[in-house]
A and B are shown apart, each in its own frame.
Chain A
Amino acid sequence: MPGNRQPTTIVPTRFAALLVCLLLLGGGGGVVYAWTWGFSAFTSYSYALSKAGPLPRLAPDISFVDQFGHERQLASLRGRHVLLHVFYGSCLTICPIVIEELREVYSGLSAAQRSKLVIMSISVDALRDTTERLLDLWREEGAFAGWIMAQPADNSIDRVTKEFGIWVFTKSDGTINHSADLFLIDPTGRIVRVISPQSNNDRLRSDLEKYL
């Protein structure tokens, strides 16, 4: 009789509990594996870098507008080493430190070494870093002939950062979080080294001297 039925409680069996446990371990492990690019990239920066592919790899042929307003291709710099990084002029934290580090290292190189190297600072701030502002920044940093300050042409910053493996995130207050890695591109157009800017100047200098 339906009226005589007692309320039943579903008690999980040991087998069901074990199955749930294994499913959780497998599923959770899978999520963490995917989230960290195979347990190899635990930061936003390293994830973007790992996702772009292992080194050495061919640098994407990007178009950019330099501080003089000339549209150029990255491929046009082949034959020289290129040290590429992203920055934005309004940054108050890591960008001024990296640019200062680059200025010190570049000015410390011999004339022969400088002739083999181009420093390329690409702005990730399309709104504020106009060609005029980039020219001002370039002058402030010493107006070195081998230093290009540029904007990606045709608002292609998303493609550029994705293909290089640079993590960029613009916050609602206008600040831009981004990777500060330096990408060393050899004369054949391959990215051969990614250098962390937090290392000291001597390390960056010795790294460059190996290649120049």
Chain B
Amino acid sequence: MKNICKLLIVALLPALLLLPRVDAVFSATMPRKALAESLLLLLGGCAVSRLCPWRRWAALAPSAVVAATLLLLFWMIPRSIDFTQSYSSANALFVISLFGTGLLLSHYLPLLPGVARVAYALYFSSMIVALGLLYACQSTLLCSAYTLEDQHAFGWMLVPVGLLAYLFVLVSMPRWLVPSANGR
């Protein structure tokens, strides 16, 4: 019962973020929209996955991780961020898909072999750093909805996030590479 209540609260996160007043707060600056809101949604998706004892099929793990990665890549494109600011339907898609991405990654990433998990996480955290540097150093505006200062601030915030994620993977690597009881 306690878990169901927690699940309901977390599952309401996307609806909460789509409320005009809440959306206005997150959409005000690029770091809030593209970093804070994205992280919140990914963590919300992870929380739902932890609270739900849904069945997981190991054979579907690569497809689920590919789907989650494609969704993340899509929302990293500046044109996609522009669309979330221009159309409310695109914003709803952004919120729901990132929430779903968190859920998929949390649900299926642990089913991948340890080496694949480490490679994926190292690749992804490196990409976050590279993306941060791109946004921070680019002298032309990439997202029309935000200012150049916003873009640079977002880039400089993304770099430490990526570096922290990279460090976290390095620290977790020995644990991830140890085969678990089911042979993975």
Contact = CB atoms under 8 A, between A and B. Distances in A.
Given A12-B59, A196-B140, A28 B79 contact: no
A38 B148 CA distance: 26
B82 interface: yes
Nearest to A198: B140
- Is chain B's binding surface mostly helix, strand, loop or mixed? helix
Of the listed residues B78, B141, B145, B147, the one surrounded by the most CB atoms of chain A closer than 10 A to its CB is B141
Interface in B92-119: none
A35 B80 contact: yes
Contacts of B147: 93
A210 interface: no
A196 B80 CA distance: 21
Interface stretch (B36-44, B46-54, B66-74, B173-181): B66-74
A25 B66 contact: yes
Contact of B63 (A13, A21, A42): A21
Contacts of A199: 139
Contacts of A41: 79
Contacts of A94: 141
A130 to B, nearest CB: 25
Given A12-B59, A177-B145, A35 B79 contact: yes
B79 A44 contact: yes
Given A45-B144, A177-B144, A17 B63 contact: yes
B144 A44 contact: yes
B144 A167 contact: yes
Contact of B78 (A25, A29, A44): A44
Contact of A43 (B57, B67, B74, B79): B79
B62 A17 contact: yes
B59 A43 contact: no
B27 to A, nearest CB: 11
A12 B57 contact: yes
A6 to B, nearest CB: 17
A198 B139 contact: yes
B121 interface: no
Contacts of A177: 82, 86, 144-145
B28 interface: no
28 contacts: A11-B57, A11-B59, A12-B60, A17-B62, A20-B60, A21-B62, A21-B66, A25-B66, A29-B70, A31-B70, A31-B74, A32-B74, A32-B77, A36-B77, A36-B79, A42-B77, A42-B78, A43-B82, A43-B142, A43-B143, A44-B82, A93-B147, A169-B144, A171-B86, A177-B86, A177-B144, A179-B144, A198-B141
